[in-house]
Amino acid sequence: GGPERPVGGSAPRRAQPPPLPSCDSSRRALGEAMTQPHHDRLLIIDFGSQVTQLIARRLRELRVYCEIHPYNKVDDAFLAAFAPKAVILSGGPASVYWEGAPMPPAGVFTLGVPVLGICYGQQVMMHCLGGHVEGGHGTAEFGKAFVTPAGGALPLLDGWFEAGTEQVWMSHGDHVSRLAPGFAVYGTSPNAPFAITADPARRFFAVQFHPEVHHTPKGAKLYENFVRLAGFTGDWTMGAYREDAIAKIRAQVGDGHVICGLSGGVDSSVAAVLIHEAIGDQLTCVFVDHGLLRLNEAEQVVAMFRDTYNIPLIHADESALFLGALEGVSDPEVKRKTIGKLFIDVFQKYASGIEGAQFLAQGTLYPDVIESVSFSGGPSVTIKSHHNVGGLPEKMGLKLVEPLRELFKDEVRALGRELGLPASFIGRHPFPGPGLAIRCPGEITTEKLEILRRADAVYIDQIRKHGLYDEIWQAFAAILPMRTVGVMGDGRTYDYALALRAVTSVDGMTADYYPFTHDFLGETATRIINEVKGVNRVFYDCTSKPPGTIELE
């Protein structure tokens, strides 16, 4: 099972007596029709592990095109349409003994392509191919383990075991107790006699640990060996992607017209430049300026797209409308909803003025598209209502153009570089849709926004000057809803206090505060107070996420 399995868990581990789930695919829904394969493709069948996305990332780093699909959406028809060159079965929290335990379609094992099972993927493979899996009692294993070689050489393990043993990361309750016919053991750990198993003739491999996490230091090598033995050539490059994407956009749009909402962020910008390259002036961008942007940001976005790229751009300066609607609003959720609703209204107003528009471009990324496998079933809690234009395409009868929906964030950046977007632009920190509104707790006023813009600019300038910008996921100033007393020159001041925030993160889901030196913090506080009228006190926010969030609201 995946790392989410509780030790000796209370989950319904073994039905009495265990009903043997069939490995056939008859109960599974038909997969959606596949587009023509343009690269060698690898299929990852997801059984719900929290680290499945990491498998995809490791493979993409090897220039292998892969897609993650939940086990219950993959049947034999899907397999035939997808035509994978190899299949990976992910980990997951289930037990093969659960009633209706998740199973891959039988066709996976008759495709004639290499298959790699990881953790639950290993167990399911043994179960389907005639081996045996047992419940954990006393053998559950979580965390670091050391694997030593057993049996002969295996192409999957080229370059492994050079130091005699390899560190791996285990996370399982059940374990394989009898191998399926044709399989042999190639690596063992003290608690996992079947840590690495394979049937080399059929090119089936199954490991009990997670090679995709960084606690398995040579995990990437294992994936590299797997894709090499499967015959992948590393043809997934951004240059190739760019050409494919352009051809696809042209085919989809024909001589129609596309509208693209531009936020100034990396995703929508890369999407806009790519689409413009494909269809030129059949694209019109709409940049909604809600008056909650950073210092000079609107001018920069307009200059870059309209002047440098010659992309037809409507600059919808609606700051008065947004700030008016936010007057007197201090509740964070009301702020977010007010902005979200107005944004859609405004966007729609401008978009409906663009004659003949049939398509709406969106910078949707692959992590938004991957369907997750959930075993918890409970409703998830809304922490914050995120700002997007969901629902708009249906309302306006527009079709979606989403040229980034196969990409991870780092791949979007690589594509941006490929398209010639300036490095300083591509490396920009994320900026939230509701903008400065959620960095101004309490009521929003133009005075506060002005102070915040100038202070934020000084802070970011400091970070850049000290060469720290690229080490930080996101840094910004927030203006606090209070004034404090200070003394400047001979006089008393009674001015605003600011909070500075800087975090490191991989995906924004969790974050650590950035450990600036005291010298840096002191120098920055002094500069802000000297250069920005209206501020006389600066705090540094040392809260990680959780328990904090990145933004203050």
- Contact positions vs ligand XMP (CB under 6 A): 384, 386-387, 430, 432-434, 474, 508, 545, 549-551
191 versus 385: smaller Cβ distance to ligand XMP: 385
Closest CA to 18 of 160, 125, 134, 103: 134
Return d(Cα 532, Cα 526) in angstroms, integer.
Answer: 10
Catalytic residue among 212, 411, 551, 553: 212
Return d(Cα 410, Cα 407) in angstroms, integer.
Answer: 8
18 versus 508: smaller Cβ distance to ligand XMP: 508
Identify whether 542 is a catalytic site residue.
Answer: no
262-284 as b/e: b if 16+ CB within 10 A:
bbbbbbbbbbbbbbbbbbeebbb
Q: Tell me how far, at minimum, the Cβ of 287 lies from ligand XMP, in Å.
A: 15
192 versus 293: smaller Cβ distance to ligand XMP: 293
> Which string of DSSP letters, residue by residue, matches 484-504?
EEEEETTEEEEEEEEEEEEEE
Contacting residues for 494 by C-beta, under 8 A, at least 6 apart: 483, 484, 485, 486, 536
215 versus 337: smaller Cβ distance to ligand XMP: 337
- Full strand arrangement of the beta sheet holding 204-207: 65-70, 41-46, 86-89, 115-118, 204-207, 192-199, 184-189, 141-149, 166-172
Per the CB < 8 A criterion, the answer to whether 356 and 256 are in contact is: yes
Identify whether 260 is a catalytic site residue.
Answer: no
Q: Tell me how far, at minimum, the Cβ of 96 lies from ligand XMP, in Å.
A: 37
Give the relative orientation of helices 238-253 and 409-418 as an angle to the nearest 10 degrees.
90
Q: Tell me how far, at minimum, the Cβ of 510 lies from ligand XMP, in Å.
A: 9
Contacting residues for 246 by C-beta, under 8 A, at least 6 apart: 274, 277, 278
Catalytic residue among 69, 175, 210, 387: 210
Angle value at C-alpha 255, between 250 and 261, nearest 5 degrees: 75
> Within a 13 Å sphere around the CA of 309, how many CA atoms are in the beta-carbon half?
27
Token pair in block for residue 320: 């008065």
Q: Tell me how far, at minimum, the Cβ of 385 lies from ligand XMP, in Å.
A: 7
38 versus 384: smaller Cβ distance to ligand XMP: 384
Contacting residues for 21 by C-beta, under 8 A, at least 6 apart: 96, 99, 100, 101, 103
**Continuous segment of H or E residues that includes residue 394:** helix 392-396
84 versus 261: smaller Cβ distance to ligand XMP: 261
Q: Tell me how far, at minimum, the Cβ of 471 lies from ligand XMP, in Å.
A: 16
Return d(Cα 144, Cα 146) in angstroms, integer.
Answer: 7
Identify whether 119 is a catalytic site residue.
Answer: yes
Catalytic residue among 66, 119, 128, 285: 119
23 versus 323: smaller Cβ distance to ligand XMP: 323
Q: Which residues are catalytic?
A: 119, 210, 212
